[in-house]
Chain A
Amino acid sequence: MSEKELKNQNCENCELEHNDKASKDAVKVRTCQVYPDCDIEEAKDNYIVRMDMPGLDPAHIDVKLDKDILTVEANAAIEGLAPRRYFRQFRVMRGLDAAKCQADYKLGVLTLKLSKPQTMQPQQIKITCD
């Protein structure tokens, strides 16, 4: 499965490289790496991942799914606080379809909803007799 980026429903530009001033400034000054707190729960049809990442522009959050590694990365340049880089990776199941996943960012919390693939639903196997 080739590298696919999850579409953040609040952002129209996540396919572009984050070359804006805020992201570059955050990297120029010595940024501290932050491992955001995360909650993962399994619902009937999807997995819900919630991460505390305050102070971000949703357009600058990078959520990538590469085969079975889910990466969440973002640079934050918050005026008055130390610039930081949020970074966390997870190993997830193969076969997740990035197009079917949703992401949203509210009150500084990133919520990812990863749809379970069809193969996870119970399927009947037909037996053929000669």
Chain B
Amino acid sequence: MFTLWSDMDRLFNHSFSDMFSDRMMRRFEDSDAFVGARRMNLLDRGETLEFVAELPGVEEKDMNLTVHGDTLTLSAKREVSHDKENRIYLAERGNYEVQRSIGLPSRVDADKATASFKNGILRVVLPKTPESQPKQIAINA
């Protein structure tokens, strides 16, 4: 029931810009160049550094996060499974593995770091060490 429409769906929904989108690029995940191509962001919030990553479908046991010095390392994997007896009409979601080491722009206090994983979004808050905190400089007029 889904077969015919899926082809029409792909034809009408894949614009040229999608051809080069990260979704298409993720197709080549076996290649080292695209390993860990999930969307992530590192933000400087002044007193803390915040790391956000999209990891849909990853279970807590398959996720590992470490901070060592000024490097944050994330490793995660997701496996999809389906009943062997079921007929597959569409299989776009695949197994994926993420292995990323990110250099942090400031020193952080790993003991005070917190991480939460909600609805497929990993959020890590890394408080900066006191010497890395932003400091106001007084201007003598």
Contacts and interface: CB of A to CB of B under 8 A. Distances in A.
Contacts of B11: none
B2 interface: yes
Contacts of B90: 38-40
Interface stretch (A1-9, A16-24, A88-96, A121-129): A88-96
A53 B82 CA distance: 19
A130 interface: no
Contacts of A78: 52, 54, 121
B72 to A, nearest CB: 14
A40 B55 CA distance: 20
Interface in B23-61: 23, 39, 41, 43, 50, 52, 54-59
User: In the complex, which range does the number of interface residues on chain A fall in?
Assistant: 20 to 34
A41 B121 contact: no
Interface in A11-55: 35, 37-44, 47-48, 50-55
Interface string A101-117: 00001011100000000
User: In the complex, which range does the number of interface residues on chain B fall in?
Assistant: 35 or more
B136 interface: no
B88 A107 contact: no
Nearest to A108: B120
A56 B88 CA distance: 26
B119 A55 contact: yes
Contact of B52 (A50, A79, A91): A79
Interface in A34-87: 35, 37-44, 47-48, 50-57, 78-81
Contacts of B14: 35
B3 to A, nearest CB: 9
Interface in B79-94: 80, 82-83, 85-93
Interface of A: 35, 37-44, 47-48, 50-57, 78-81, 88-93, 105, 107-109
Interface of B: 1-2, 4-6, 8-9, 13-14, 18, 23, 39, 41, 43, 50, 52, 54-59, 80, 82-83, 85-93, 119-121, 123
